[in-house]
């Protein structure tokens, strides 16, 4: 008995889905070259954010596309929206300079040891397309040293807290003098902060008036030392 041939057609496979446009965000230098390694070089004073997104080729710029966040000890210190402009390479975008500096420097992000910077890009046309880059600054700062200034904050009860501003500071010394130049107190602590109870070196209560103080900060290396200029301090109890 002859077998019947099947005239059933074999279905054609479905065409593959179109490729998903790629998207990346990286901290970079001024040319758009991504920064390598886990840290940001604070000495450069500036950092940029580079975004690659094929979805936006030829768009010119993407406003407020990147959120840059500074985190310190697990808490958010500052968040800033950054726009990016398309470069000569279509689909590749670069931000303006993001300035970095020490406390009271006026930089966009004032950095301290152990800080973390994160750049997060969200496609404005598709919020499911998210990419981020994170850089730690503590590794670099641990080996860097700079002493930018000192603050004296008088607390209730007559105590004064001296805080040295900078990075890589492992020891702080403060000398307090009366208006004639006689030293009335000297303190030292393995920290960037030092507290004074307002008493003289022999425990006597000092009279109200204007006093002078000098701070010395030290880093890890023997050469890491800086003396800050004479500043005035008023005592009123």
CATH for 65:
2.60.40
pLDDT of the chain along its 237 residues, tens only? 555 555 666 677 777 666 656 789 999 989 999 988 777 766 557 889 999 999 899 999 999 999 999 998 889 999 999 999 999 999 999 999 998 887 777 889 988 767 889 999 999 988 888 889 888 774 444 456 778 889 998 887 778 999 998 777 889 999 999 999 999 999 999 988 999 998 999 888 888 899 999 999 998 788 889 999 899 998 876
- Give the side-chain half-sphere CA count within 13 A for 42: 29
| 184 and 125 housed in the same domain | no
| 32 and 129 housed in the same domain | yes
Q: Which among 86, 116, 141 is the end of a domain?
A: 141
Structural domain that includes position 73: 23-141
Between CA 21 and CA 128 the distance in angstroms is 13
pLDDT confidence of residue 39: 72
Task: Evaluate whether residue 7 is within a structural domain.
Answer: no
Task: Evaluate whether residue 27 is within a structural domain.
Answer: yes
CATH for 207:
2.60.40.4070
| 127 and 191 housed in the same domain | no
Between CA 227 and CA 101 the distance in angstroms is 20
Q: Which among 141, 166, 187 is the end of a domain?
A: 141
Q: Which among 86, 118, 141 is the end of a domain?
A: 141
Task: Evaluate whether residue 18 is within a structural domain.
Answer: no
Backbone angles phi, psi at 18, to 5 degrees: -65, 150
pTM of the model: 0.54
| 231 and 121 housed in the same domain | no
For residue 25, what is the enclosing H or E element? strand 23-28
| 105 and 151 housed in the same domain | no
Between CA 67 and CA 44 the distance in angstroms is 21
Between CA 64 and CA 80 the distance in angstroms is 9
Task: Evaluate whether residue 176 is within a structural domain.
Answer: yes
Number of domains composing the chain? 2
Task: Evaluate whether residue 209 is within a structural domain.
Answer: yes
| 29 and 134 housed in the same domain | yes
């Amino acid at each position: 008995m002859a077998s019947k041939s099947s005239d059933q057609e074999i279905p054609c496979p479905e065409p593959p889905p179109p490729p998903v446009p790629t998207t990346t965000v990286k901290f970079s230098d001024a040319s758009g070259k991504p920064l390598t390694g886990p840290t940001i070089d604070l000495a450069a004073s500036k950092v940029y954010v580079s975004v690659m997104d094929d979805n936006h080729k030829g768009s010119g710029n993407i406003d407020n596309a990147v959120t840059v966040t500074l985190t310190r000890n697990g808490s958010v210190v500052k968040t800033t929206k950054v726009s990016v402009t398309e470069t000569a390479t279509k689909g590749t975008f670069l931000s303006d300079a993001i300035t970095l500096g020490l406390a009271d420097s006026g930089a966009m992000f004032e950095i301290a040891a152990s800080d973390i910077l994160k750049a997060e890009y969200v496609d404005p046309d598709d919020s499911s397309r998210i990419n981020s880059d994170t850089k730690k600054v503590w590794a670099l700062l641990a080996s860097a040293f700079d002493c930018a200034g000192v603050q004296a904050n008088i607390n209730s009860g007559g105590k004064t807290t001296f805080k040295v501003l900078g990075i890589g500071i492992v020891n702080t010394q403060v000398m307090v003098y009366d208006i004639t130049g006689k030293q009335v107190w000297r303190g030292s602590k393995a920290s960037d902060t030092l507290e004074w109870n307002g008493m003289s070196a022999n425990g006597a209560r000092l009279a109200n008036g204007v006093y002078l103080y000098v701070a010395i900060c030290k880093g890890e290396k023997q050469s890491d030392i800086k003396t800050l200029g004479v500043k005035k301090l008023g005592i009123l109890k």
